[in-house]
Amino acid sequence: MKPPPLLLGATLLFWGWQSEFLVVGAILGVVLESAQLIRTRWEFSDEDFARIWTFCALLLLASALYAFTANEGPASFGGFFSDANPITTTRASSATARTASAMIRWLPMLFFPFLAAQTFSTREAIPLTVISLIARRRWKKLTPADQSSPLARLSFHIGYPYFAATLLASSFHPAEDKSFFWGLAGLLTWMLWAHRTRRVTLVVWVGLVALAVALGFAGQRGIGSLAGYLQEQNPQWLTRFLRRNIDPSHSRTALGQIGDIKTSGRIVIRLRPKAGSAPPEYLREASYRVFKSPGWFAGSLKDDFEVVGEDPPNSASFPLLPGKTNSASINIACYLDGTSTNGSPEGLLPLPTGSGRLENCPAYVLRKSSLGAVVAEGPGLVLFDALFGPGLTMDLPPSLNPESNEDLYVPENEQAALDEVVKELQLRGQPPAQVLPVVAGYFAVKFTYSTWQGRDRGTPGTTPLSRFLLENRKGHCEYFATATVLLLRQLKIPARYAVGYAVHEPSGSGYVVRLSDAHAWCLVWNETQQTWEDFDTTPASWIAEEARNRSPFRWLSDIWSRLKFEFAKFRWGQSKLRQYLLWIVVPGLALLLYQIIFRRGRRRQASKRTDEGFITQWPGLDSEFYQLEKQIATRGVLRKPSEPLNEWLRRVAENPALAGLQEPLRALLRLHYRYRFDPLGLSDADREALKQVTRACLERLDRAKP
């Protein structure tokens, strides 16, 4: 199938306009469409086309190399190979993206020689074997009889593939307006018009095309508006469905909600303790200071974030607490589910209490807050080593001013219930060292863990927390943690509300943490040690309670989770696999190249061998007549491959400029035919005559030159 006249020229012009190569596009278009005026055609063989194709391929390689170097490719990849860290990886991938987009924009230029060769050649179609090694190989395997069949040699016209490539190249356009869409629609309509079926009437055809264009327009507009609408929506509204919503500035609890708390058994974190390290009990994501039922808030320290290390980081090591000695190390893998303002994945890192340093962390930017939350911006999946130890934590010590100290703030409506508990336990005036065991014992003995909250409204005007403390005495971890924090604060012991995960489920050489292991507990200020300590009053039965909700098919989802994890590791470059892959690909390509060269050598030998079996060197191919044919072809009378010489001579005679040559040419053709097709061949005298007459004809042709 051949594109209609002028379509490719117009497409090239469109490409030039869209990708800012207007002059180039115009020149290419004019050169191509000049074929409508210039009638001269060259006769290219398959071999010639194969050479031109190789030339185009080399051009592509060379320009790829150029684009790669122009886009700082070598430097980025040099860094990527010598020191693979998130920064060099990002640089390398953006260099790759720039190279690829430049290559696609250049495609019409790179493959123009091939298109021009076909346009200006006598051939309507080029066999696929010219460009495809696979087709060539398959063709070689056929028997000679099958090889001569036209079916065995699929042919194509480069016109439409080139058309498609040019449109693709135009799509990489800097222009933001609608010109690309309408140009594309126009060119495609033109193409379809040339091949429209005559079965349907013109009206129906135009109607259908208009409908298709309208649908396309609506579709691209619709996708744009949907994206805009979703961006305008509160992203949290969406993320609530997707994951546990953790925000360093506030945490909504389920306090006061009726019904069961449903948690999923999905694995969210994987831990692998380094040799000799005990796993941490808790992985904290954030802590909060101010309780406003039903939520906990970061209070005045909400925006107190500082960048850890340098920005952008120069190494994968982030000192959270410079100077801290860390006794344990653990490898943590977690997903970054949020999205930062610049579009890359972002999330809170679950860290053991007392983390002092992160190693091998692929984050682009790492920020920590004075409430111990660490926000990482990086790939969707991060694997890092957390070094931690008892003692100092990232958290800011409680402020010394008791009036404005948010670590001692208790909402007024909760104070009555808390006072009642303090009275019941006779804790007023006791030192913290004695208060904590009593509180822990109180919650362990008198309270039960339950994810179910009944409908009993209790005394009107009471808060959910006071009902938990005084009436039903059962609830989930958020109740226990909130109650404990407020109870300690009522006793003037600074405390904070912490959220994160409990680590308890071994898996292989490490641990897995599921969404259902999400937990809330309490941070208590140890005045003597000057550190914040974890204090968990939720009855230990909560883990068993959660386990009761476990689905019998959880092993299946665990396998799935593992697969997704491995894939995410690969996708976000967190495994060495990607680098290995590159090192595999490079020798693979070299091998392929070697094979191509090697095969070429073998083919040369093979073709020699077949030559012996079958004569392709027919007699008389050195006839001088061919020079004459070539000369006349330049005058515009080209012989088609299937046209016998006699017919061609008749056409030559029709050309007024060559009419005088008809008789000598006829005589010459008789000699030539005898030389070529008479098994007896020509006598020496006749052979000489063939030479002489040809020379005479050539001279006459020269004289007749206008």
Partner 1 sequence: MMNLPSAREVYQKIAANIGQVMQGQSAATRKLLAALASGGHVLLEDFPGTGKTTLAKALARSIDARFKRVQFTPDLLPSDILGVSIFNQRVQEFQFHEGPVFTNILLADEINRASPRTQSALLEAMGEAQVSVDGERRHLAELFFVVATQNPVEFRGTYPLPEAQMDRFAMQFTLGYVQSAEEVAVLTAQASHHPLDALQPCVTLAEVVGLKNAAQNVRISEELKRYIVDLTGATRTTTGVQLGASPRASIALMKAAQALALFDGLEFVTPEQIQELAEPVIAHRLVMEPQARFSGLTARGVVEGVVKRIKVPA
Q: Least distance in Å: CB of 642 to partner 1?
A: 5
Distance CA 289, CA 589 (A): 59
Q: Least distance in Å: CB of 645 to partner 1?
A: 5
Residue 663 is a binding residue for partner 1 (CB under 8 A): no
Q: What is the dihedral of CA 87, 88, 92, 98, to 10 degrees?
A: 40
Residue pair 345/285 in contact by the 8 Å Cβ criterion: no
Stretch that binds partner 1, among 147-155, 278-286, 353-361, 598-606 (CB under 8 A): 147-155
Stretch that binds partner 1, among 354-362, 487-495, 543-551, 668-676 (CB under 8 A): 668-676
- Binding residues among 190-229 for partner 1 as defined by CB under 8 A: none
Q: Least distance in Å: CB of 640 to partner 1?
A: 8
Q: How many CB atoms lie within 10 A of CB 509?
A: 8
All residues at 6 or more sequence positions from 613 whose CB lies less than 8 Å from its CB, including other chains: none
Distances (CA, A) of 381 to 268, 274, 362: 10, 20, 9
- Binding residues among 332-351 for partner 1 as defined by CB under 8 A: none
Q: Least distance in Å: CB of 127 to partner 1?
A: 12
Return the SS3 of 551: coil
Q: Least distance in Å: CB of 12 to partner 1?
A: 31
By beta-carbon proximity to partner 1, the closer residue of 420 and 643 is: 643
Residue 642 is a binding residue for partner 1 (CB under 8 A): yes
> Among 679, 702, 703, 706, which residue interacts with partner 1 (rule: CB under 8 A)?
679
Stretch that binds partner 1, among 149-157, 375-383, 450-458, 500-508 (CB under 8 A): 149-157
Q: Least distance in Å: CB of 45 to partner 1?
A: 10
- Binding residues among 559-618 for partner 1 as defined by CB under 8 A: 615, 618
> Among 259, 295, 644, 660, which residue interacts with partner 1 (rule: CB under 8 A)?
644
> Among 34, 148, 434, 551, which residue interacts with partner 1 (rule: CB under 8 A)?
148
Peptide bond before residue 679 is cis, with ω within 30 degrees of 0: no
By beta-carbon proximity to partner 1, the closer residue of 134 and 145 is: 145
Residue found under tokens 């609506």 = 218
Residue 673 is a binding residue for partner 1 (CB under 8 A): yes
Residue 2 is a binding residue for partner 1 (CB under 8 A): no
> Among 138, 674, 687, 700, which residue interacts with partner 1 (rule: CB under 8 A)?
674
Beta sheet of 290-292, edge-to-edge order: 250-252, 295-297, 290-292
Residue 311 is a binding residue for partner 1 (CB under 8 A): no
Draw the binding track, 126-145, toward partner 1 (x: CB under 8 A; -: no contact): -------------------x
Distances (CA, A) of 143 to 45, 46, 147, 645: 22, 19, 6, 31
Q: Least distance in Å: CB of 101 to partner 1?
A: 42
Distance CA 86, CA 22 (A): 39
Stretch that binds partner 1, among 227-235, 316-324, 545-553, 675-683 (CB under 8 A): 675-683
> Among 46, 83, 146, 310, which residue interacts with partner 1 (rule: CB under 8 A)?
146
Determine how β-strand 345-348 pairs with β-strand 338-339.
Answer: antiparallel
Residue 104 is a binding residue for partner 1 (CB under 8 A): no
Stretch that binds partner 1, among 80-88, 460-468, 481-489, 637-645 (CB under 8 A): 637-645
Determine how β-strand 282-288 pairs with β-strand 374-377.
Answer: unpaired
Amino acid found at 349: L
By beta-carbon proximity to partner 1, the closer residue of 279 and 619 is: 619
Residue 188 is a binding residue for partner 1 (CB under 8 A): no
Q: Least distance in Å: CB of 639 to partner 1?
A: 7
Residue pair 498/534 in contact by the 8 Å Cβ criterion: yes
Residue 152 is a binding residue for partner 1 (CB under 8 A): yes
Residue 156 is a binding residue for partner 1 (CB under 8 A): no
Residue 31 is a binding residue for partner 1 (CB under 8 A): no
> Among 676, 687, 698, 700, which residue interacts with partner 1 (rule: CB under 8 A)?
676
Residue 646 is a binding residue for partner 1 (CB under 8 A): yes
Contacts of 272-277 with CB under 8 Å at 24 or more apart are 272/330, 272/331, 272/509, 272/510, 272/511, 273/328, 273/329, 273/330, 273/331, 273/510, 273/511, 274/328, 274/329, 274/330, 274/331, 274/385, 276/328, 277/327, 277/328, 277/329, 277/330
Instruction: Please list the residues that pair with 16 across neighbouring strands.
Output: none
Q: Least distance in Å: CB of 669 to partner 1?
A: 9
Residues 623, 624, 625, 629: is their CA dihedral positive or negative?
A: positive
By beta-carbon proximity to partner 1, the closer residue of 575 and 631 is: 631
Among 142, 107, 143, 141, smallest CA distance to 28 is for 107
Three-state SS sequence of 556-596: HHHHHHHHHHHHHHHHCCCCCHHHHHHHHHHHHHHHHHHHH
Stretch that binds partner 1, among 24-32, 50-58, 239-247, 636-644 (CB under 8 A): 636-644
Residue 460 is a binding residue for partner 1 (CB under 8 A): no
Distance CA 224, CA 180 (A): 15
Stretch that binds partner 1, among 312-320, 330-338, 674-682, 697-705 (CB under 8 A): 674-682
- Phi, psi values for residue 260, rounded to 5°: -90, 145
By beta-carbon proximity to partner 1, the closer residue of 81 and 677 is: 677
Residues 47, 49, 50, 52: is their CA dihedral positive or negative?
A: positive
Contacts of 645-649 with CB under 8 Å at 24 or more apart are 645/669, 645/672, 645/673
Stretch that binds partner 1, among 182-190, 448-456, 651-659, 673-681 (CB under 8 A): 673-681
Q: Name the CA radius of gyration of the chain, rounded.
A: 40
Stretch that binds partner 1, among 101-109, 287-295, 417-425, 639-647 (CB under 8 A): 639-647
Element at 496 (helix H, strand E): strand 495-502
Residue 647 is a binding residue for partner 1 (CB under 8 A): yes
Total residues at interface with partner 1 (CB under 8 A): 26
Q: Torsion-angle region of residue 367: left (phi > 0), alpha (psi -120 to 50) or beta? A: beta
Among 651, 289, 346, 345, smallest CA distance to 485 is for 289
Question: Would you tell me which residues interact with partner 1 (CB under 8 A)?
Answer: 145-146, 148-152, 615, 618-619, 629, 639, 641-647, 673-674, 676-680
